[in-house]
């Protein structure tokens, strides 16, 4: 393991308390605007206000006061903003609620001999246990060896990081770095998602798709791999075990590969949420989010998003204590959407708009169990010549906090966010 900047989350509370009082980030009280949207089968209402959640519990985000912010930390993959056509290697930092960088990490580089890495590309970032986050990134050597993809874990408590697995382009061999073993995937299978097991810190889920050169990729298998013990059992589930036979088309043995895969700890279960595009009987495409429990198989809930959009940018909170799963999505399927959103929980929903100062918005992490509080971010330049972004915390249809820069030491740095995850604190 490599030692990085020693900044522990146990000390971060002191840092945050020192910074909150002097923060120049402004509290926003922006009235929500309701978009008419297209006609759909779900009851869409106005945003319900900010003081309580759907379960009538008071929310700390509903009545913010300067100096009394909720304690939150985020793992962020980002670059310092500049011209959109220029390359800048991604940074990996933990920031506090004010946008202050409190700990930094470095992506692994390509192992080709005698060569410095030509570039590093970010793929995904997610929480992975208390104070930790998991990253998938790849690097290309300057000598033009094929890129190597790395899965690595960063620990905000210790400031350390370790590479857990890696593979090279066009290979079905996955090297388990810590275990000193090789996992061989079936022919024509490729990795499409790496998910941290919320109940076992030594295991990762590997989601695959199956394809050949002449067909659209299909949902493959899900593997559970112990990344530290080479003798541990490798668990697997195929497509019918994940989605059930009713979602498998007549012409194949699996649906198309998922556009989304997220994992959650839902009470005692480990839940994998899959976003699926399915061919309908009338030729139209259905957009469905469905749940799979690794303990018991396909779950009895799903969210049909077909009437809203075919967007693949979704923030989701799984079902808890008998409540329905909740999602936030853009109202538009455009590749560069405006920050106009729909919140869905069961058959109820409401639409609202975010800031009119950002373009090509993207959804960040959810901050509560009902997906009523979440982060979104977008570009400040409508022509996209400059890559600078702004980020907002939205609560029940109202923007309550904003970021225009991150603080690195005493310097303010404009940012372009590549990915963001909410860290678990306990």
Scan for tokens 């409190």, then name that residue.
Answer: 102
Q: What is the mean pLDDT of the chain?
A: 82
Distance CA(324)–CA(7), nearest Å, equals 38
pLDDT at position 238 over 80: yes
pLDDT confidence of 23, banded at 50, 70, 90? very low
CATH of the domain at 103: 2.120.10
What is the pLDDT at residue 188? 75
Convert the pLDDT of each residue in 119-148 to its tens digit: 899 999 999 999 999 999 999 876 666 789
Confidence (pLDDT) at 325: 85
Instruction: Kindly report which listed range (46-50, 226-230, 292-296, 316-320) carries the lowest average pLDDT score.
Output: 46-50
Residue 423 reports pLDDT greater than 90:
yes
Into how many domains does the chain fold?
A: 1
Q: What is the pLDDT of residue 356?
A: 94
In the chain, % of residues over pLDDT 70:
80
User: DSSP assignment of 223-265, as one string?
Assistant: EEEESS-TTSPPEEE-HHHHH-GGGS-TTSSSPBPPSEEEEEE
The rounded radius of gyration (Å) of the Cα atoms in the chain is 21
* pTM of the full structure: 0.85
Distance CA 106, CA 109 (A): 9
Contact 383, 406 (CB under 8 A): no
Mean pLDDT confidence for 236-259: 88
| Residue 351 belongs to domain spanning | 3-423
Distance in angstroms (rounded) separating the CA atoms of residues 383 and 196: 37
Determine the pLDDT at residue 88.
Answer: 83
The mean per-residue pLDDT over the stretch 337-360 comes to 92
Q: Is residue 221 over pLDDT 70?
A: yes
- For 163-221, the three-class secondary structure string (H helix, E strand, C coil) is EEEEEECCCCEEEECCCCEEEECCCCEEEEEEEECCCCCCEEEEEEEECCCCCCCEEEE
Look at residue 5 and tell me whether its pLDDT is greater than 70: no
Helix (H) or strand (E) holding 18: helix 9-20
Lowest mean pLDDT among 10-19, 272-281, 326-335, 337-346: 10-19
Q: What is d(CA 167, CA 270) in angstroms, rounded to the nearest whole number?
A: 26
Cα distances from 278 to residues 54, 170, 193, 281, 379, in angstroms, run: 31, 28, 19, 10, 32
pLDDT attached to residue 110: 74
- Tokens (6 digits) for 118: 């030509």
pLDDT, residue 4, reads: 39
Q: CB–CB of 272/292 below 8 Å? A: yes
Please write the tens of the pLDDT for every residue from 252-267: 788 899 999 999 988 7
Q: What is the pLDDT of residue 9?
A: 37
Name the most confidently modeled range: 1-5, 158-162, 324-328: 158-162
């Amino acid at each position: 393991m490599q030692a990085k900047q020693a900044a522990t989350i146990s000390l971060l509370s002191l840092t945050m308390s020192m910074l909150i009082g002097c923060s120049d980030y402004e509290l926003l009280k922006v009235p929500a605007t309701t978009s008419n949207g297209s006609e759909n089968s779900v009851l869409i209402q106005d945003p319900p206000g900010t003081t309580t959640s759907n379960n009538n519990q008071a929310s700390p985000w509903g009545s913010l006061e300067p100096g009394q912010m909720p304690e939150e930390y985020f793992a962020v993959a980002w670059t310092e903003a500049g011209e959109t056509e220029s390359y800048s290697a991604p940074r990996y930092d933990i920031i506090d609620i004010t946008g202050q960088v409190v700990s930094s990490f470095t992506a692994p580089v390509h192992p080709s001999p005698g060569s410095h890495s030509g570039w590093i590309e970010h793929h995904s970032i997610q929480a992975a246990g208390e104070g930790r986050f998991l990253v998938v990134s790849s690097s290309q050597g300057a000598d033009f060896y094929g890129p190597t993809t790395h899965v690595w874990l960063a620990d905000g408590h210790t400031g350390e990081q370790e590479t857990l697995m890696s593979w090279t382009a066009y290979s079905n061999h996955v090297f388990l770095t810590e275990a000193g073993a090789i996992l061989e995937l079936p022919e024509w299978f490729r990795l499409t998602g790496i998910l941290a097991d919320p109940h076992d810190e030594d295991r990762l889920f590997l989601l695959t798709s199956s394809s050949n050169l002449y067909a659209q990729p299909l949902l493959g298998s899900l593997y559970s791999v112990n990344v530290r013990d080479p003798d541990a059992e490798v668990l697997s589930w195929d497509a019918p075990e994940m989605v059930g036979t009713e979602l498998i088309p007549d012409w194949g043995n699996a649906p198309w590969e998922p556009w989304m895969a997220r994992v959650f700890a839902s009470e005692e279960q480990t839940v994998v949420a899959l976003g699926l595009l399915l061919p309908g009987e009338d030729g139209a495409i259905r957009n469905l989010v469905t749940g799979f429990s690794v303990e018991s198989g396909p779950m009895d809930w799903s969210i049909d998003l077909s009437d809203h959009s075919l967007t693949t940018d979704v923030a989701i909170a799984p079902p808890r204590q008998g409540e329905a799963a909740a999602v936030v999505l853009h109202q538009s399927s455009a590749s560069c959407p405006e920050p106009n959103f729909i919140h869905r929980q069961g058959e109820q929903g409401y639409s609202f708009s975010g800031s009119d100062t950002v373009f090509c918005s993207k959804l960040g992490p959810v901050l509560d169990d009902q997906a009523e509080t979440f982060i979104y971010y977008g570009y400040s330049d409508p022509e996209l010549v400059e890559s600078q972004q702004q980020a907002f915390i939205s609560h029940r249809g109202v923007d309550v906090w904003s970021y225009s820069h991150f603080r690195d030491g005493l310097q303010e740095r404009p940012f372009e966010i590549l990915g963001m995850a909410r860290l678990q604190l306990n």
